[in-house]
């Protein structure tokens, strides 16, 4: 078979970082850091806001990057998330705009916990709000099923025990190919909440999940 040359369209060039004065970059870094410190979500999830090569990098851990903010001009910034060895663009706008998109993410692009800072709506609160506000599960523990959030699976509370120290939560995503789910048990043990992913065959109830974890000395299915 002979391959014909195709005139594929060229990739659009990557946005270039604007060359801003050092003092402007320091002020930008200070504003982002202050926003993170005041945020219910980001203050718990981010370990560092780093200024490097004219960009701002928001780190979960030393080797775990959540997002990058690139100045494209004095008042225009670009919000991106890492994807392999590249970057995915999500929003362009003012600093306030891109920070709100970062904080209010509900799809799992950055963390998926945006319902915690959303304006209350009529009807039932989200599962995340119940888990955090009513059951006092810390944000960092709520965020632990990060892979499921990144796959756009939404949490739903299956069962809460009488003492409210065990909560079974199902993460579900539905599409044309069917539904996909995973289950975790949030458990208060020795005064601290933990998140334990559960094998599907043991995920029907809190009792079955806890029995399975007991056999494994509380080592989850991760």
Residue 122's SS3 state is: coil
Q: Residue 180: its pLDDT value, please?
A: 75
Residue identified by tokens 């799809």 is: 107
Tokens of 13: 């060039």
Query: Per-residue pLDDT tens for 36-58?
Result: 999 999 999 999 999 999 999 99
CB neighbours of residue 47 within 10 Å: 12
Helix axes 95-103, 22-38, angle to 10 degrees: 30
Nearest to 75 by CA among 52, 53, 96: 96
Is the pTM higher than 0.95?
no
Q: For residue 46, give the DSSP letter.
A: -
Residue 142's SS3 state is: helix
Q: Residue 3: its pLDDT value, please?
A: 53
Percentage of the chain exceeding pLDDT 90: 80
Paired residues of 189 in beta bridges: 192
Q: Residue 7: its pLDDT value, please?
A: 59
SS3 content of the chain, % helix, strand, coil (to 5): 30, 30, 40
The pLDDT mean for the chain works out to: 92
Query: Per-residue pLDDT tens for 99-137?
Result: 999 999 999 999 999 999 988 777 789 999 999 999 999
140: Cα within 13 Å, side-chain hemisphere: 10
Q: Where are the domains of the chain?
A: 22-103, 127-215
């Amino acid at each position: 078979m002979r391959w014909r040359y195709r005139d594929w369209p060229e990739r659009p060039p990557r946005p270039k970082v604007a060359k801003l004065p050092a003092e402007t970059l320091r002020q930008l870094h200070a504003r982002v850091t202050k926003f993170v410190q005041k945020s219910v979500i980001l203050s718990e999830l981010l370990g560092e806001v780093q200024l490097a090569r004219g960009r701002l990098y928001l780190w979960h851990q030393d080797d775990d990057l959540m997002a990058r903010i690139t100045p494209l001009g004095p008042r225009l910034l670009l919000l991106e998330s890492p994807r392999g060895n590249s970057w995915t663009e999500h929003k362009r706008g003012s600093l306030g705009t891109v920070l709100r998109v970062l904080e209010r993410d509900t799809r799992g692009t950055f963390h998926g916990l945006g319902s915690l800072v959303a304006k209350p709506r009529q009807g039932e609160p989200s599962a995340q709000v119940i888990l955090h506000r009513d059951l006092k599960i810390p944000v960092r523990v709520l965020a632990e099923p990060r892979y499921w959030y990144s796959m756009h699976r939404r949490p739903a509370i299956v069962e809460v025990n009488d003492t409210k120290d065990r909560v079974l939560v199902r993460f579900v995503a539905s599409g044309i190919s069917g539904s996909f789910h995973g289950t975790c048990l949030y458990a208060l043990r020795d005064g601290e909440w933990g998140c334990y992913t559960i094998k599907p065959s043991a995920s029907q109830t809190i009792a079955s999940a806890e029995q399975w974890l007991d056999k494994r000395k509380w080592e989850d299915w991760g």
